[in-house]
Every structure is written in C-alpha cells, then in structure tokens.
Structure 1
Amino acid sequence: MPSLSVLLPMMPTRHEQILSFAALVQWTSAHRLWQGQALALDPHHGFVFAAAAGFRVPMGSGVSLMPLRHPHEAAVHARSVAVASGHPFVAGIGPGGIDFQRSIIGAPYAGQLTAVREYVTAMRGLLDGEEVNLDGDHFTVHDLLPPLPTPPVEIGLGVLRPGMARLAGEVADVAITWLTPASYLRDVIVPALREGAERAGRPLPRLVAMVPMFVADPDRDPTRLVLQSNAGHLMLPHYVDMLTRAGIEIDPQQPVETVKRVIAGGAFLTGAPEELGRQIGEFHAAGVDEVVINLTGVAGAYGPQAALVELETILGQATP
C-alpha cells in the first residue's frame, strides 16, 4: 500500500523544534518522519530526543553523507534510533558530491559505486550481528557489534541515476530519491532497480521519493520557493545530470526560466491542495512506495509553523 510521509523542513538548532513534526506523524495519517543531513544538530540525536519526549514514530534519514561517518558509527547511530523509537529505522546513506568528499576526506572516492557497496556491506554485516572483516578500497572494518534486541534497521541508498539504482537493487532495502520527476522514476530508476535486484536474486527495494512542493497562491513567488528549497541542488553536477536525463534543462544563469522548467517537468510540484494530491498519485503510479512531502521552501520563506499547517492540508488531500 503506498504511503505518505513528512520531511522535517528545516535544519533545527534546538532539538525541541522537531517535536511538532513528530507529533504530526503520530497524530495524522503520515507514515514516517524523515530528516536529511544536517549541519547544526545531528539528525539521529533529534530522533532520539523526539522518541524520549513521547513521540515514538517511524523515522528515517534521507540521506546521511558517508564522508562524515564511518560505517561502524553509522550502524550504531541507526540502531540507537530504532531502539529509542521502537520502530524499524531507515538508515539512508549517500556519498555526497565530489567537492564535498574532497573537503571532508581530502579526495573524492576513486570509485563512487565501489565505496557505497563497501559501506553498505559493512553496515549490513554489523547490523545483522556478523563479524565483519573488510579491507576495501575505501573502508576498513574488522569488528562485531554486541548483541542488542532492536527493531529492524533498513539501509537506504540515495539514488539519482541508473548506476546507483542498479546498485541499490543489488544491496539496499530502500532507494531514496530527491527532486526526481515521476516520469523519470517510472522510465529510468524503477527499471534499473529491477535490473539490479534480478541480478542479485533478491526482492526489489522499496522506492521512497522526497518530493518538493508547495500550495500555489497568487501572493507566492514560485522562483523564491523553488530556490529556497533547492538552489544548492540545482548547482551540483550530479543533480544537473539527473535533471538533464529527465528532460529538464538547468541554467544557473537563468534562474527564473530554470524554475519554470523544473516545475513544468514535474520535479517540483505546485498547485491547489487537490491538484497536489493528484500529482502525488502520479508518483505512486510510477512505482513509488512512499512519497515524502518536502516543504523546505515553505519553511525557509515563511517559517516552520507555516510548513506545519501546509503539511496538514496536503496530507488531508493526498492520503492514499
């Protein structure tokens, strides 16, 4: 059954800021609370804080960047959230951009897919209670986590292009996308996921799409909201390449025209609440198991409270 979830639409500077969104998930039809990589407070700490405050809801990271955390620490953090929340946790990971890798670990991974495969292999073994002995090209792990009763931890991969999608099909439990049109998911990502899963002889991973959107209003400037949400992504080569493959031309020198193309191409949704509900349905029809409502543009432009109200409106129209 397709589900609808919520992305924490800002990087909190106090753990208390997560509570109203965790409460929204607990008290509405929303399935899971997600948070992307944060620069101020660690998302895993916020999830545990919310659980300790009484909001024990399903949670997921979408995605944590590999250069910041060794696979051993990633496994411990993920397991900690699962224990605190009492629900399966989705530990989404991704390598980040080339420049980010260089700034954190000194040089890009020589093989992006190889690095991700090693990272997942180490995490999965540790989470499954196995003794891991890995001397990879990018990661070294010789360790065993102590036994701990815990809900399952699912490993997710941030997926934008066919190569990573095929790898996710081989090794991941969940594929997580961001700013990807429904048509691109249907025609490119889902077939690649299936190819990888069939090659590995395993079930197709669940597909989770983080979908940026906002409710249209004559007083709202689409350019401001789209750029508030994704200006950085629209400058990163791997996102530009993905959107180009999806038929959306990105020109940083023409932000207004670029925003029009991003909206027209279905990478960023807008419309009346009922229209957003219809567009979300297109993602489910394309093979997406879980659509995550991303209102980072609304929160950035009008504040978290406005985003919270808008989330309730969209959930009311778009619940499968």
Structure 2
Amino acid sequence: MRIGLTGRPASTDQLVEQAKAAEEAGFSSVWYDSTVLGDPLAAMAVAGRETTSIELGTAILQTYPCHPLLQANRAAATAEAMGRPGFTLGLGPSHEPLVSGMYGLSYEHPGRNTEEYLRILTGLLRGEKVTYEGEDWTTRGARVRTAHPVPVLLAALGSRLLRVAGAFADGAVLFMASAKAIETHIAPKLHAAASAAGRPEPRIVAQLPIAVHDNVDEARQATAKTAGVYESLPNYRRIMDIGGARTPADAAILGDEESVTRQLQSLLDAGATDIQAFVVPVGEDRNKSRQRTTDLLASLTG
C-alpha cells in the first residue's frame, strides 16, 4: 500500500524530523495543509533537502487568495529548493465561510474559478508559455522555470471539480470520501474525465481519520471531537452522504489491526491509489494510541 501521513508540526525543525522519521519508517509521503506554520512551503523545502525519496505534498493550499502564476512560481521554487523531485502541489478552492467570511472574496462560481485556475497553473508547471483570458483569472505571456516536475492534485469531491481534476490535474486528493463514495462517484467520474482529455490514469489520494483501537465506540468519540467540524461544511456533507456516512466517525477507519487493514484495502479496491492517514489518538495515553496506529500503517506500506 502507498500510505502517507498528515503532518501537523509546530515548527520547521519538527516538520523536518517528522519527514525524516516517516521516510525511515517506509511511508510513501507526508502531507501538509495551508495552515501549517502559516505556510508550509519554506519548511517543506528544508525537509526535502534532509530526505532522499519521500514525497512531500500540500493537502491543500487554497486557490482563491493566490494568483495561479504566483502559485506556480511558489511551487516551482519549492521544488527547486528541495533539490530533488518529490514535491506535489495539492490545492483547492477551500470553502465559502473562509473565502468569503475571512478573505472577503466572492465564492459565487467555485467550479468556474477552479477550472480557469487549473488551466493556467498546470500549463505553467509544464513549462508552457501561457496566455489565458478568463472571467476570474487572466495571465498574459507568462512562463515559469521548473527545475523538477511538480505534479498537481486537486481537492475534488463534486462532479464538476472531478471533471476538472481529470482534464487538467494529475489526480484528486480527497477527504471524508469512503470506499463506497470512491467506487460509485469519485473514481468513475475522474477516470472518465482523464480518458476524455487523453490524460494518464489519475491518482486518487484518499484521506480519512484512522485509529487503531480495540474500543470502536471510544474511537468514534475521539474522531467526533477531532473531525466533527467537517460535518457542517457542505462539500464534506455531500460526499459523506454519497458514501453513506452520517458523521465523520462513520467515514473514519476505526478498529483493531485486522479490521483497519481490511478497511484500508477496501479503499484501494474501490479505486484509491494512495491513502493519506489522518491519525486520531484515542484514550488517555494519546502517544501510545498514536504509535499503535502509526506502527500498523508503517507495516502495511510498500
């Protein structure tokens, strides 16, 4: 299994140590969201120099507050600073409460906005000279220098963004999508879009809360405390409904080692190519709980 971890370090030193430890344990990747250290890219570049092969990715950076030309330059600069291939840019349009509520930007056309964004960004990261006049995004005669390839994954859960991901990106990065949602909704739409665009078979990176714990009810309660906020966001609510999950705890991977292994395999059988583990500590000894989950995941990598 290709299994990666969700990184939430409190400092650059901690991010570097986490990446080194994950590589040593055999994990395929570590992923960082836009809130890590205010912006994770500088610290990821440092970690890239301290590791040799592990993939370091963003899951996700927001599109709206950053022009696609600037975003492409940031991604290319991070890959160059790492000094090796292995940086993956995961991005998405985020959510209306953040984009409109915090940034004061319009969120009226997230599908159109994201499609225009990807058209510009992916062309630039392929080394093309891009001129594009859109309703939301424009660039004229832009070009970005790329020292290493930068794969792009789109946070795509709905039908339109799955089409955009298949047509322009290298795949999709998911959250709260169960095996059922991947098999019946995500994979068919993403593969159809990639095929129609003549694109290679896309990656599907499935991120879910995961806890190895003997008391499933206790693990569900811990998941509700850790991930319950996502239940109120419409994008996650819809994908949970598609997957038959009432709450994030229903979508989570919970149970003992045998049960969790079986559930992880079901994600791959449904069409996921990678698993991104959002490890949920359970019980009084959080470190011991976290280590038990991480140990199982490490034993399954490869």
C-alpha distance 306-160 of structure 1, shift in aligned 2 (>3 A): same
CA distance in 2, matches of 1:228, 1:44: 28
1:154 Cα shift?
A: 0.7
Aligned mate of 1:74, from 71, 75, 79: 71
RMSD: 2.5
| Greater Cα offset, 81-90 or 300-309 | 300-309
> Equivalent residue for 1:279?
263
TM-score by length of 2: 0.89
CA distance in 2, matches of 1:152, 1:248: 37
C-alpha distance 29-175 of structure 1, shift in aligned 2 (>3 A): same
> Equivalent residue for 1:3?
2
| Greater Cα offset, 302-311 or 112-121 | 302-311
Contact 1:184/1:246, CA 8 A, preserved across alignment: yes
Secondary structure of 1:232's counterpart equals helix
State how many pairs are aligned: 301
In the alignment, structure 2 segments of 5+ residues that lack a partner are none
CA distance in 2, matches of 1:159, 1:147: 27
CA distance in 2, matches of 1:302, 1:49: 32
CA distance in 1, matches of 2:47, 2:199: 34
In the alignment, structure 1 segments of 5+ residues that lack a partner are 250-257
> Equivalent residue for 2:107?
109
1:162 Cα shift?
A: 2.4
**One-letter identity of the residue aligned with 2:252:** F
> Equivalent residue for 1:147?
145
**One-letter identity of the residue aligned with 2:4:** S
**One-letter identity of the residue aligned with 2:301:** T
In the alignment, does 2:4 pair up with 1:21? no
1:24 Cα shift?
A: 2.5
CA distance in 2, matches of 1:309, 1:177: 24
In the alignment, does 2:29 pair up with 1:32? yes
C-alpha distance 237-90 of structure 1, shift in aligned 2 (>3 A): same
Aligned mate of 1:136, from 128, 131, 134: 134
TM-score by length of 1: 0.85
1:181 Cα shift?
A: 0.5
1:223 Cα shift?
A: 4.0
CA distance in 1, matches of 2:145, 2:238: 43
C-alpha distance 192-146 of structure 1, shift in aligned 2 (>3 A): closer
**One-letter identity of the residue aligned with 2:276:** V
CA distance in 1, matches of 2:294, 2:286: 13
Aligned mate of 1:122, from 120, 123, 129: 120
> Equivalent residue for 1:319?
301
> Equivalent residue for 2:182?
185
Q: Deviations over 1:158-210 (max 9, x none)?
A: 01222221221111102111111011101111111122123223223111111
Contact 1:155/1:174, CA 8 A, preserved across alignment: yes
CA distance in 2, matches of 1:282, 1:311: 19
| Greater Cα offset, 102-111 or 128-137 | 102-111
CA distance in 2, matches of 1:157, 1:301: 36
> Equivalent residue for 1:204?
201
**One-letter identity of the residue aligned with 2:131:** N
